[in-house]
Amino acid sequence: MNSFVIVQDIFRLTCYISCMSNQFDKPAHAADDWTIDQRWSDYTADEHKVWDTLYERLMKVLPGRAAPEFLNGLTALKLDRGGIPNFEEMSDELEALTGWRVVAVPGLVPDDVFFDHLANCRFPAGNFIRKPDQLDYIQEPDVFHDVFGHVPMLTDPVFANYMKAYGEGGLRSLRHASLKNLAALYWYTVEFGLIQTDQGLRIYGAGIVSSPAESVFSLEDESPNRIGFELERLMRTDYRIDDFQQSYFVIDSYDQLFRSTVDTDFAPLYAQMHGRFDHKPEDVLPSDTLLHQGTQAYANRGGRFAA
Ligand code: PHE
Ligand code: FE
Please tell me the distance between residue 286's alpha carbon and the centre of ligand 2 in angstroms: 31
pLDDT of residue 176: 80
pLDDT digits (tens, 9 = 90+) for 76-100: 999 999 999 999 999 999 999 999 9
Question: Quick check: 154 and 123 in contact, CB under 8 A?
Answer: yes
Choosing from 266, 270, 272 the residue with most ligand 1 atoms within 8 A of its CB, the one to mutate for a pocket test is 266
Residue 203 has pLDDT above 80, yes or no: yes
**CA 86 to CA 103: how far, in whole Å?**
10
pLDDT of residue 129: 96
Please tell me the distance between residue 58's alpha carbon and the centre of ligand 2 in angstroms: 16
User: Mean pLDDT, to the nearest integer, of 52-59?
Assistant: 96
Q: Which of 88, 115, 113, 112 is nearest to 102 (CA)?
A: 88
Give the phi and the psi of residue 290 in degrees, each rounded to 5.
-90, 120
Mean pLDDT of the chain: 91
pLDDT digits (tens, 9 = 90+) for 237-280: 999 888 999 999 999 999 999 999 999 999 999 999 988 999 99
How deeply is 47 buried, as exposed, middle or buried, from its count of CB atoms within 10 A (0-12, 13-18, 19+)? middle
Residue 306 has pLDDT above 80, yes or no: no
Asked if residue 266 has its Cβ within 6 Å of ligand 1, the reply is yes
pLDDT digits (tens, 9 = 90+) for 167-195: 999 999 988 878 899 999 999 999 999 99
Give first-to-last CA distance, the chain, whole Å. 15
User: Mean pLDDT, to the nearest integer, of 159-171?
Assistant: 97
> What residue owns the CA closest to ligand 1's atom 1?
262
Which CA distances in Å does 1 have to 5, 145, 244, 276? 7, 24, 18, 33
Ordered domains of the chain (ranges, CATH): 8-296 (1.10.800.10)
pLDDT digits (tens, 9 = 90+) for 128-145: 999 998 887 777 889 999
Residue 14 has pLDDT above 50, yes or no: no
Identify which has the larger pLDDT, 29 or 288: 288
Residues 6+ apart with CB under 8 A from 136: 5, 6, 7, 8, 9, 10, 11
Please tell me the distance between residue 68's alpha carbon and the centre of ligand 2 in angstroms: 19
Give the phi and the psi of residue 196 in degrees, each rounded to 5.
-85, 130
Q: Which residues pair with 104 in a beta bridge?
A: 36, 125
Choosing from 166, 175, 186, 272 the residue with most ligand 1 atoms within 8 A of its CB, the one to mutate for a pocket test is 166
Asked if residue 167 has its Cβ within 6 Å of ligand 1, the reply is no
**Alpha helices (H) in 79-178, listed in sequence order:** 87-98, 111-119, 143, 157-173
pTM: 0.92
Please tell me the distance between residue 137's alpha carbon and the centre of ligand 1 in angstroms: 32
Residue type at position 280: K
| Proportion of the chain above pLDDT 70, given as a percent | 92
> What residue owns the CA closest to ligand 1's atom 10?
166
Asked if residue 264 has its Cβ within 6 Å of ligand 1, the reply is yes
Question: Quick check: 124 and 117 in contact, CB under 8 A?
Answer: yes
**CA 218 to CA 226: how far, in whole Å?**
8
**CA 159 to CA 50: how far, in whole Å?**
28
Three-class SS state of 11: coil
pLDDT of residue 5: 25
pLDDT of residue 17: 53
